[in-house]
A and B are shown apart, each in its own frame.
Chain A
Amino acid sequence: MSADHHAEHPTGISRWLFTTNHKDIGTLYLVFSFIMAIVGGVMSLVIRSELWQPGLQLVEPNFFNQMTTVHALVMIFGFAMPAFVGLANWMIPMMIGAPDMALPRMNNWSFWILPFAATLLILSLFMPGGGPAGGWTIYPPLSVQGGIGVDFTLLAIHMLGISSILGSINIIATVLNMRAPGMTLMKMPMFAWTWLITAFLLIAAMPVLAGAVTMLITDRHFGTHFFDAAGGGDPVLFQHVFWFFGHPEVYILVLPAFGVFSQIIPTFSRKPLFGYASMVYATASIAFLSFIVWAHHMYTVGMPMAGELFFMYSTMLIAVPTGVKIFNWVSTMWRGSMTFETPMLWALGGVFTFAVGGFSGLMLAITPADFQYQDTYFVVAHFHYVIFGATIYGLFAAIYYWLPKWTGHLYNETLGKWHFWLTTIGFNLTFFPQHFLGLAGMPRRIPDYALQFTEFNRWSTIGAFFTIISQLIFFYIAIRAMKGGAKATDQVWEGADGLEWTLSSPPPYHSFAVAPKVK
């Protein structure tokens, strides 16, 4: 069946330009995201090199600020989000028994916006005055200063947002309409569930960001004063609008990774996921809460007491459903029959490092304590533990888990484990000391620091180089598996369960030409 289908679709460059196939588009997303990861990774090395010792060594402060800003934008909008859309594209149709995504042409478009948006974002660095230097949060009035590079960035954010919204619409349409007969919502794989909820978050949050960005553009160029106090505007309004997007964004990044953990842990525990229904409810509660906690990013702006208390309580509440998830994963493992292949290592490592970030998040929720943590390296450590520790760990877990399915070849398990352990050592070496730096009083986003912060910064810089160099192993493994290697079976993993494992490895071009029956 696959042979005659192969004859129908174009080859070479036009295969990728005009493709409406969910697997090709998934591959495009993943390849794009890893190119962006390299770009963002190099920027992080510029940052960490400058911070190797006190004093200004490599770069000017203005360029340093551009690096922190663009590193964050590239990693969030260029790497983490597209990578998971790539996974959704590849896996959701296969997991729910569909032939393809519901809206294949839009799928093509939502991907092909990305390279142009990314180009615009990177080009901003080469404009007179350089790229955006006001942090990825683009707070006005600072972001109203700055040259044309800021406009490039704002337009790039608009385009990235459009791409995300289109991708989300597609995922929602696919999940709601294209499930195999018998697959009720409460029988869906957790990855499909978490992505369904994430897609709704995206549709609700991204237009809010677009609104904030648009107001910034008109403030910069069309004489409005939304955020200019001198013109009757309100600089804090921007922060409220931004974080109304920004906090759900955190869960947009992390929920699909939770979905991945919930697929992988049962497989390698050889035991069904514990508390499936409570997992779904916990995910939905986190999503709901994510919309009513935004001002915990702004405790120091001078909110009324009632606001400070409300946002503290609501934020603390997130610990409850998050705890449920962790307890469920541990209970899934309990009395299972575990093996620790690379995907399982990444999943367990991800649960562990995420928990560190989750606990520091709880600490940050406590308003009075946050007055000390706010805008310090403690925050930098916290969100890297969440975004790297959960999202990127989830991404690697997913890739190792499904790579044999995608390519039809087993990857090198020994090297995969090396990749995990080296990354884990490097990652913790980079970010764990940053907790101490923050507590001791080092503000974030500074190119130079007081002498007492030297030692931990040094560890952090060593860790960053260690982490990034370790990723070469991953690229080697992935490329080798694409080119060849031992044949993978259809089920690939002994304990794997789900529709994607009923397809051949690699799967046929149109995943399920005939809908499977789900009992």
Chain B
Amino acid sequence: MFIKLIRRFPGIVSRLILGLGLWLSAPAVFADYALNFQKPVTPVAHRILELHNMILLICVIIFVLVFGVMFYSIFAHRKSRGYKPAKFHDNATLEVVWTVIPFLILVSMAIPSTATLLEMDDTSKSDLTIKITGYQWKWKYDYPDQDVSFFSTLATPRDQIENKAAKEQHYLLEVDNPIVIPVGKKVRFLVTANDVIHSWWVPQLGVKKDAIPGFINEFWTRADEAGTFRGQCAELCGKDHGFMPIVVNAVNPEDFTKWVAMQKDKAAAESASGAKTWSKDELLEKGKKAYAGTCAACHGVEGKGIPGVFPALDGSQIATGPVDEHIKTVLHGRATGKFGAQMPAFAAQLSDADAAAIITFERNALGNKTGDVVQPSQVKSLRK
């Protein structure tokens, strides 16, 4: 790794200079010294901010008092001022006082904390339920009652991340499909994960909950104003942990209803696309996009993988071997034991058309030239 780093040194230097140039050219976006929480937009987030401010204030006051005494002593009781040392080394009364007073202060902190915690915990009487599933490295949102379901992935272009293009305002905090919630409604979230532990965090909503495979956690929120609220995965979940943001659009209830209808139309169009026969160019075009969103995180934009961790697709036995095996691998996953990570099953994440497009793309790009064209119907037949 280090040797690789040294070998890449000239490249690194040029990228640093480029990056510096980009930084200097966009000073306005950078000048930001936020000192406290983002503006809260839910009742719980308000309570948390108040609690935080109160405890911080108490801590600062105690800190100033205690170290005020210490610094006074440092100033006054020094040998260079001829101060002669006293001999005392015990005082039972004092010891009791400074055990009991902090205890009482703690009790005064614990009471509002407990109240806030109880409020956060009450998920009853919700108006809407949304299920969140964490994947490496994207989020899936299901609205079981509305029959809406979609994935949400990072929308920031690769060029910005690699410092080849200027970064825009919401760099790394933008997604292709934001989650939409109605303003003023109590939304109950169920959160779990598909592979490793993630954590769903939107600071302005005042919620953070771990998404754990095999567990379903629960929390709720109620946005009191419309707006776009941004967050990130908070639990280290592997390579692209820093690249799976969360964007919540809080809209008024009428717009929410419209949005639901629109999502349904989109889903119908997607499922219809599975029935038709696609041309190779159509598949390649769709596949390139879907590959970038679903596969590139592990297998690399150019299909090179990461040696020892994620296999390369360029020339891989699966991507150049029998088509059916390739489809089954994508749909149902594969554990070869040769790599640290195992291929997860994508059957639930990809439509027939998406899977067909990705497989066609993988077999005709990334250095592979099998010429195979996979149709959605072929994927469908191998779904079991």
Contact = CB atoms under 8 A, between A and B. Distances in A.
A302 B212 contact: yes
A195 B134 CA distance: 44
Contact of A271 (B67, B85, B161, B342): B85
Contact of B90 (A53, A133, A274, A367): A274
Given A56-B163, A375-B199, A305 B118 contact: yes
Interface residues of A, number: 108
Nearest to B8: A58
A278 interface: yes
A327 B98 contact: yes
Contacts of A211: none
B51 A276 contact: no
Contact of B161 (A55, A308, A313, A368): A55
A173 to B, nearest CB: 30
Given A55-B162, A375-B234, A145 B206 contact: no
Contacts of B307: 128-129
Interface in B72-127: 73-74, 77-80, 83-91, 94-95, 98-99, 102-103, 106, 109-110, 113-114, 116-118, 120-121
B197 A440 contact: no
Given A65-B241, A236-B212, A366-B55, A330 B113 contact: no
A450 interface: yes
Interface stretch (B170-178, B320-328, B351-359): B170-178
B55 A372 contact: no
B199 A235 contact: no
A222 interface: no
B5 interface: yes
A363 interface: yes
Contacts of A59: 5
B161 to A, nearest CB: 6
Contact of A333 (B77, B197, B342): B77
Interface string B160-198: 111100010111110000000000000000000001110
B31 A372 contact: no
B195 A129 contact: no
Contact of A372 (B63, B77, B206, B217): B206
A324 B80 CA distance: 29
Interface stretch (B35-43, B263-271, B272-280, B372-380): B35-43
A337 B80 CA distance: 8
A229 B309 contact: no
A366 B51 contact: yes
Given A130-B1, A319-B102, A330-B70, A446 B210 contact: no
Interface in B233-288: 233-243
Contacts of B94: 327, 331
Interface string A375-404: 110000000000000000000000000000
Given A305-B117, A355-B63, A339 B79 contact: yes
B132 to A, nearest CB: 13
Contact of A55 (B19, B55, B233): B19
A61 B239 contact: yes
B231 interface: yes
B12 interface: yes
A54 B135 CA distance: 24
Contacts of A448: 161, 172, 242-243
A324 to B, nearest CB: 6
A148 B339 CA distance: 9
B34 to A, nearest CB: 4
Nearest to A302: B217
A355 B62 CA distance: 10
A186 to B, nearest CB: 13
A275 B89 contact: yes
Contact of B120 (A63, A312, A371): A371
Contacts of A334: 69, 73, 77, 86
Contacts of B226: none
A271 B77 CA distance: 11
B208 interface: yes
Interface in A286-342: 300-302, 305, 308-309, 312-313, 316-317, 319-320, 323-324, 326-327, 330-340
A376 B109 CA distance: 22
B227 interface: no
Interface of A: 53-63, 65-66, 125-130, 133-135, 139, 141-142, 145-148, 150, 229-230, 233-236, 269-278, 300-302, 305, 308-309, 312-313, 316-317, 319-320, 323-324, 326-327, 330-340, 348, 351-352, 355-356, 359, 362-363, 366-369, 371-372, 374-376, 436, 439-441, 443-456
22 contacts: A54-B171, A55-B162, A56-B163, A65-B238, A128-B308, A141-B195, A147-B309, A147-B340, A275-B91, A277-B90, A323-B98, A324-B99, A348-B74, A363-B55, A366-B51, A368-B113, A436-B35, A439-B36, A440-B35, A448-B242, A449-B172, A450-B170
List the 5 closest A-B pairs by CB distance, nearest first.
A229-B214, A128-B308, A129-B308, A446-B242, A302-B217
Interface of B: 1-2, 5, 12, 15-16, 19-20, 22-23, 29-38, 44, 47-48, 51-52, 55-56, 59, 62-63, 66-67, 69-70, 73-74, 77-80, 83-91, 94-95, 98-99, 102-103, 106, 109-110, 113-114, 116-118, 120-121, 160-163, 167, 169-173, 195-197, 199, 201, 203, 206-210, 212-215, 217-218, 231-243, 306-309, 339-342
Given A229-B214, A235-B213, A440-B35, 7 more contacts: A58-B12, A141-B195, A302-B210, A337-B79, A362-B59, A363-B56, A441-B38
